[in-house]
Structure 1
Amino acid sequence: MSQATSTFIICALITLVVLLAASVMAARSTKDREKSTPFECGFDPKNTARIPFSTRFFLLAIIFIVFDIEIVLLMPIPTMYMSLYTTHIVVTYMLFVIVLILGLIHEWNEGSLDWST
């Protein structure tokens, strides 16, 4: 047997041992730490899933999604100003911002944004 062949066999065995050791260490156990922690919304995974959830949490999540969509709609406005400066764009933008501010004031007065209570 030549030295190149024996070197290749030794490298292959080392690689095999390292891969087997990594496979054993990375194996998922049935008692996974992530699976035994509560969900993001506060549910305990060991109890039944048919329990009522917080409506306030749901409404706050919906408000967050709506404001994210509104931010996406506002992002192209500066580019539109640079290419087409018309009064139509300015009026549309100002009406959109006014509706957003009125919605924020309404949600604030209603108490939807106060998560601590």
Structure 2
Amino acid sequence: MHNKEFIEVYLRQKGASRTVVKPYPFLWHWLLKSNGKPCLFESPLKLFFKELFLGTVFWGGFMWLIVWRSQEPSINNLYMSLLFGFLSGLGLSLEVLYYSRKLKITSSWAEWLKEHDLAE
């Protein structure tokens, strides 16, 4: 088992959700097989803005492809995309904040790896 897999299993056993032990953005790290740090060690504010942007763009693009393309353009479509990005960003950042407090994680990713003898 590689360090990345071990860390994910370890954090899941401690009580973290599957979402916060994966690197963000989830899909890109999965496709590229990247060893990014888990969301748990990211700043909740930084994750909020990333998800606000990506959620808005992907939701708006998806909805345009499926539904809005056949409709007349409306500012409400933009508002709905922004609302989706805002709510998904808020949800992700609150989840990361909750689990980082629950697991008492106060150190950075590099410091946490050193504390647990898992330096990469």
State the structure with bigger RCO (CA 8 A, min sep 6), 1 or 2: 2
| TM-score (ref. length: structure 1) | 0.30
- When you count helix as a share of all residues, which structure comes out higher? 2
| TM-score (ref. length: structure 2) | 0.30
Please say which structure displays the higher CA radius of gyration. Answer: 1
